[in-house]
Chains A and B, each alone.
Chain A
Amino acid sequence: MRAKQTVFIFFGVSVSLILSFFSMLYAYDPLQLFHKHWHGDKRVLSRDMRAQAAGILNTYDYDSIILGTSMLANTSAKEASAVFGAKFLNVSFPGSDFYERSFVLKYALKNKKVKKVLYSLDDIGLVEGRERDASDFSYLYDTNRFNDFKIYITKKQLTCLFLFSSSPQCQGEVRDIDRPTAWYYKQEHKQRFGGMKNWFKAKNSPQIKKAFANILDVTKKIKNREVAKKFPLEEKKLELKNYLDKNIISIAQQYKDTEFILMLPPYSRLNYAMNAQYDKQKFELYLSSLLYLVVKSSEVKNIKIFAWGNEKFVDQIKNYKDPSHYEYTFNSWMLKQIKLKQGLLNNDNVNSYINLFKDKSLHYDIFKISKSIETYLDQE
């Protein structure tokens, strides 16, 4: 009898502990995976958007999403909703590749009937075809809701749980759900727009340091007639096609009623020119992936490709805080352009777009910029 009692006590205590533990995790739920915040400020969101996006998609209403990198982080969901007559959520996360985003995308599409997806075609996917290991967050986007608890079972989160803390380290900071990863209002970014002089002022910024080093290095190599390290180009092109098929096109084919608006973020001409004039294979990959997507968009009717790489503002460095990131007003501008179907590429106009793009990138004067950097650094 005592043995039987022991078995029942063992299971009784174990089950009680397990239930209490998961109830506490459920109640605490800092990422809002199961419900909106029950305590503290309701606007608090984690900065780790790879995980936080699951919470947003679970608990906020939407019928359209914005999914990109820092290039779309400043796009207002409210504004997009007004422009397109939909209910957008912006779940962009910085530095994300297409593979990582595919988990979020599929989940968002499976969760609700989605009208539109605004998606940025960043170099990280379009040219590099990167597949960052997603095992640390991908389970949040599967059909098993129970395994979502795993994200909370870390030393840090358990400490937060037992203190039921609503501190920024535990739960995150107050962020606007309109664009949770927006950076346009932050002084360290804002101050760098307006021209090279403002880049110089921010010379200690890691992005600026990296940009200066890169520009000087590339111009030096061009002068010395050096060529970038070569790789098997055709092999890589094929690899990228498969990558795009797997992470974007096949998903679009599966959700025919959803409009996939794929946009090439307009990096600065300086960025394109460095590739066109030095890393020529990389430049070719960019164009071949773009061409492939445009051709595909004629077959898969719910895909639309937009690009504005030949616009004048791309040539003006004052619109950029570094060689890639444009001012947030262009996020608004792009929404309107999409609405007006300006910048839409198709089989008829893609070749002329590419020719002009190539021409502009090949004839852009990088040396003028590198010289100004050199002069500034010499004065320093």
Chain B
Amino acid sequence: MLFNSYEFIFAFLPLSFFIYFFLLEKRLVTGAKGFLVFASLFFYSWWNVAYLPLILSSMLFNYVVGNSLNENFKKVQVHKKGLLTFGITSNLALLGYFKYTDFFLENFNLAFDGSVPLLHLALPLAISFFTFQQIAYLVDSYRGETAEYDFLNYALFVTFFPQLIAGPIVHHAEMMPQFASKWNMVKNYKNIAAGLFIFSIGLFKKVVIADTFSKWATAGFDHAEVLNLIEAWATSLSYTFQLYFDFSGYTDMAIGAALLFNIKLPINFNSPYKALDIQDFWRRWHITLSRFLRDYIYIPLGGNRKGSFRTYTNLLATFILGGIWHGAGWTFVFWGFLHGMALVIHRFWKALGFNMPKVLAWFITFNFINIAWVFFRAKEWEDALKVLNGMFSLDSVVLPQKLSAFFKSSDVVSFGLWAEDISGSNWTAVWLFLGFFFVSVLKNTYELIRYPGIDSKLFRPLYAGFFSILFFVTLVLMTMSTHTEFIYFNF
């Protein structure tokens, strides 16, 4: 079930909310948790019930391993480590089987001129997210940072529907105390109001902004054969904005929906396109994934504790793995490599004590991110090169006819239909301008709400009216939208 669907907004979410709190009012705490797990599994199975046994067995396995790690806390270190290694390897094997088998076979066939048939396995929804979340749980259990003896609680931690499909990736220790708190077992109107506002903003970001940009990004990357300078930049920027508004819109909806149940999920985005360097970007973009990569890959590899060279290689390795996590393809690996290299260069630059004017720093950071997204989005290398060629070639500049009064036509510059090959119009320029404005000038959702606290100034009729109009307009526009699925559902 999609957050941006009528069945979720008008049926699933309100029903889940009322039944959950009804059961809590009747002091049926276990029943309420059980119901929430059931509702979440129903939400998950809505796409394809065939995936249900997979997530259930994954949960059961990790619960048993996690519990064993806790019980064996005082036993010999080797045994615990072996169990942890077994747990992590099994999780990675499951993820690897579904996500990377064909990628491996394709490359094997290519390298050894083989003809091993591909398996064409369908990627089970959310597998990357629930696998990482459970690996984190195992490591936390191993470290003695968390413990769970109740399978229902554990199932709730993994399946809680707002964060199940595409994060935020949460720690057991930050979720379960919230479900256990007595304060959270009664309806909290502050949280409900803030949740509704955040959900409305997220829905607007997805339906109105991201889906608008997706038309041009899809046309440019997937359909156009050649792109001129303006079309290529419009394509790459459209995707840069689409991805941000799609994923941050999803996260807003997840955080908003969770707040209705008095659960505060960690924030995942903090105006990432305002970043002034690449390290700053990764502190603002997909924050819970960055946190996972830092805590469970970069630091265990040695982090920055083993000298500069090891720090650089650790950074590079972490980001290459981050790239692979996003998808089984060399373009994702290269995207991870680019970001890893950028972080290495940034560290080196900092170590030398250099500084840069803020505007220039923003310009370089934003453009690097925009260019790197080209590899992230392209289905094939050829698509990436097509967009990059257009972006950096002055062979063809097609300007709108209206500008012919201001520019002379030449071998390079001609006048015609604006961004024709990406189905663009004058509105494309307006939207790109708005995109820049939204990401670089406006406050983000959490600054506005002051989340994870909640700004009581929001509780005014004017705001309520504004957000309800925003919600209504988005609902109407949702009917016209043809691009519905969230990008991160593919990862």
Chain A residues packing against B (C-beta within 8 Å): 2-7, 9-14, 17-18, 21, 149-150, 153-155, 158
- Interface status of B189 (Cβ within 8 A of chain A): yes
Q: Chain A: which residue is nearest B192 at the CB level?
A: A7
For B192, B196, B465, B468, which residue has the most chain A Cβ atoms within 10 angstroms? B468
Chain B residues packing against A (C-beta within 8 Å): 189-190, 192-193, 196-197, 456, 458-461, 463-465, 467-469, 471-472, 475-476, 479-480
Q: Chain B: which residue is nearest A2 at the CB level?
A: B459
Interface pair A17/B479, CB less than 8 Å apart = no
Query: Which chain A residues border B463 with CB–CB below 8 Å?
Result: 6
Interface pair A153/B479, CB less than 8 Å apart = yes
Q: Chain B: which residue is nearest A146 at the CB level?
A: B6
Query: Which chain B residues border A150 with CB–CB below 8 Å?
Result: 479
Interface pair A155/B480, CB less than 8 Å apart = yes
Interface pair A6/B475, CB less than 8 Å apart = no
Interface pair B476/A153, CB less than 8 Å apart = yes
Tell me the smallest distance from the CB of A161 to a CB of chain B, in Å.
11
Query: Which chain B residues border A9 with CB–CB below 8 Å?
Result: 461, 464-465, 468
Interface pair B464/A13, CB less than 8 Å apart = yes
CA distance A14 to B461 in the complex (A): 13
Interface residues of chain B: helix, strand, loop or mixed (majority): helix
Tell me the smallest distance from the CB of B194 to a CB of chain A, in Å.
8
Query: Which chain B residues border A6 with CB–CB below 8 Å?
Result: 189, 193, 458-461, 463-464
CA distance A154 to B478 in the complex (A): 11
Tell me the smallest distance from the CB of A133 to a CB of chain B, in Å.
13
Could you say which of A2, A3, A17, A153 contacts B472, with CB atoms under 8 Å apart? A17
Q: Chain A: which residue is nearest B470 at the CB level?
A: A14
Q: Chain B: which residue is nearest A158 at the CB level?
A: B476
Interface pair A153/B480, CB less than 8 Å apart = yes
Interface residues of chain A: helix, strand, loop or mixed (majority): helix
Could you say which of A3, A12, A18 contacts B192, with CB atoms under 8 Å apart? A3
Across the A-B interface, the 6 shortest Cβ-Cβ residue pairs:
A9-B464, A13-B468, A3-B189, A153-B479, A2-B459, A17-B472
Interface pair A17/B469, CB less than 8 Å apart = yes
Tell me the smallest distance from the CB of B261 to a CB of chain A, in Å.
15
Could you say which of B467, B476, B479 contacts A10, with CB atoms under 8 Å apart? B467
Other 15 A-B pairs with CB < 8 A, given A13-B464, A154-B480:
A2-B459, A3-B190, A3-B456, A3-B459, A6-B189, A6-B461, A9-B461, A9-B465, A10-B471, A12-B468, A14-B472, A17-B469, A17-B472, A18-B472, A21-B476
Interface pair A7/B479, CB less than 8 Å apart = no
What are 7 A-B pairs at a CB distance below 8 A?
A: A3-B190, A4-B189, A6-B189, A6-B459, A6-B460, A6-B464, A153-B476
Interface pair A17/B468, CB less than 8 Å apart = yes
Q: Given A17-B469, A154-B480, decide whether A7 and B475 contact each other with a Cβ distance below 8 A.
A: no
Query: Which chain B residues border A17 with CB–CB below 8 Å?
Result: 468-469, 472
Q: Chain B: which residue is nearest A17 at the CB level?
A: B472
Query: Which chain B residues border A12 with CB–CB below 8 Å?
Result: 468
Interface pair A10/B468, CB less than 8 Å apart = yes
CA distance A170 to B463 in the complex (A): 35
Q: Given A7-B189, A7-B192, A150-B479, decide whether A21 and B472 contact each other with a Cβ distance below 8 A.
A: yes
Q: Chain B: which residue is nearest A13 at the CB level?
A: B468
Interface pair A13/B190, CB less than 8 Å apart = no
Tell me the smallest distance from the CB of A138 to a CB of chain B, in Å.
16
CA distance A17 to B465 in the complex (A): 11
Q: Given A13-B465, A14-B472, decide whether A7 and B480 contact each other with a Cβ distance below 8 A.
A: no
Q: Chain A: which residue is nearest B200 at the CB level?
A: A10
CA distance A150 to B481 in the complex (A): 11
CA distance A3 to B464 in the complex (A): 10
Interface pair A2/B456, CB less than 8 Å apart = yes
Interface pair B465/A3, CB less than 8 Å apart = no
CA distance A18 to B10 in the complex (A): 12
Tell me the smallest distance from the CB of A103 to a CB of chain B, in Å.
20
CA distance A2 to B462 in the complex (A): 12
Query: Which chain A residues border B196 with CB–CB below 8 Å?
Result: 7, 10
Q: Chain B: which residue is nearest A9 at the CB level?
A: B464
Interface pair B469/A18, CB less than 8 Å apart = no
Q: Chain A: which residue is nearest B196 at the CB level?
A: A10
CA distance A10 to B458 in the complex (A): 12
Query: Which chain A residues border B471 with CB–CB below 8 Å?
Result: 10, 14
Q: Chain B: which residue is nearest A151 at the CB level?
A: B479
CA distance A9 to B480 in the complex (A): 27
Query: Which chain A residues border B476 with CB–CB below 8 Å?
Result: 21, 153, 158
Query: Which chain A residues border B193 with CB–CB below 8 Å?
Result: 3, 6-7, 10
Could you say which of B460, B465, B475 contacts A18, with CB atoms under 8 Å apart? B475
CA distance A153 to B207 in the complex (A): 15
Interface pair A10/B189, CB less than 8 Å apart = no
Query: Which chain A residues border B468 with CB–CB below 8 Å?
Result: 9-14, 17
Query: Which chain B residues border A3 with CB–CB below 8 Å?
Result: 189-190, 192-193, 456, 459
CA distance A3 to B459 in the complex (A): 5
CA distance A127 to B480 in the complex (A): 35
Tell me the smallest distance from the CB of B132 to a CB of chain A, in Å.
35
Query: Which chain A residues border B458 with CB–CB below 8 Å?
Result: 6
Could you say which of A5, A21, A153 contacts B459, with CB atoms under 8 Å apart? A5
Q: Chain A: which residue is nearest B195 at the CB level?
A: A7
Query: Which chain A residues border B190 with CB–CB below 8 Å?
Result: 3
CA distance A3 to B196 in the complex (A): 11
CA distance A3 to B189 in the complex (A): 5
Tell me the smallest distance from the CB of B196 to a CB of chain A, in Å.
5
Tell me the smallest distance from the CB of B257 to a CB of chain A, in Å.
15
Query: Which chain B residues border A154 with CB–CB below 8 Å?
Result: 480
CA distance A150 to B478 in the complex (A): 10
Interface pair B469/A13, CB less than 8 Å apart = yes
Query: Which chain B residues border A7 with CB–CB below 8 Å?
Result: 189, 192-193, 196, 464
Query: Which chain A residues border B469 with CB–CB below 8 Å?
Result: 13, 17
Q: Chain A: which residue is nearest B458 at the CB level?
A: A6
CA distance A40 to B471 in the complex (A): 33
CA distance A2 to B458 in the complex (A): 9
Query: Which chain A residues border B480 with CB–CB below 8 Å?
Result: 153-155
Q: Chain B: which residue is nearest A155 at the CB level?
A: B480
CA distance A149 to B475 in the complex (A): 13
CA distance A196 to B196 in the complex (A): 70
CA distance A7 to B281 in the complex (A): 35
Query: Which chain B residues border A153 with CB–CB below 8 Å?
Result: 476, 479-480
CA distance A149 to B467 in the complex (A): 24
Tell me the smallest distance from the CB of B484 to a CB of chain A, in Å.
13
Q: Chain A: which residue is nearest B465 at the CB level?
A: A13
Could you say which of A10, A21, A155, A158 contacts B464, with CB atoms under 8 Å apart? A10
CA distance A13 to B480 in the complex (A): 22
Tell me the smallest distance from the CB of B184 to a CB of chain A, in Å.
15
Query: Which chain A residues border B465 with CB–CB below 8 Å?
Result: 9, 13
Query: Which chain B residues border A155 with CB–CB below 8 Å?
Result: 480
CA distance A155 to B479 in the complex (A): 11
Tell me the smallest distance from the CB of B212 to a CB of chain A, in Å.
13
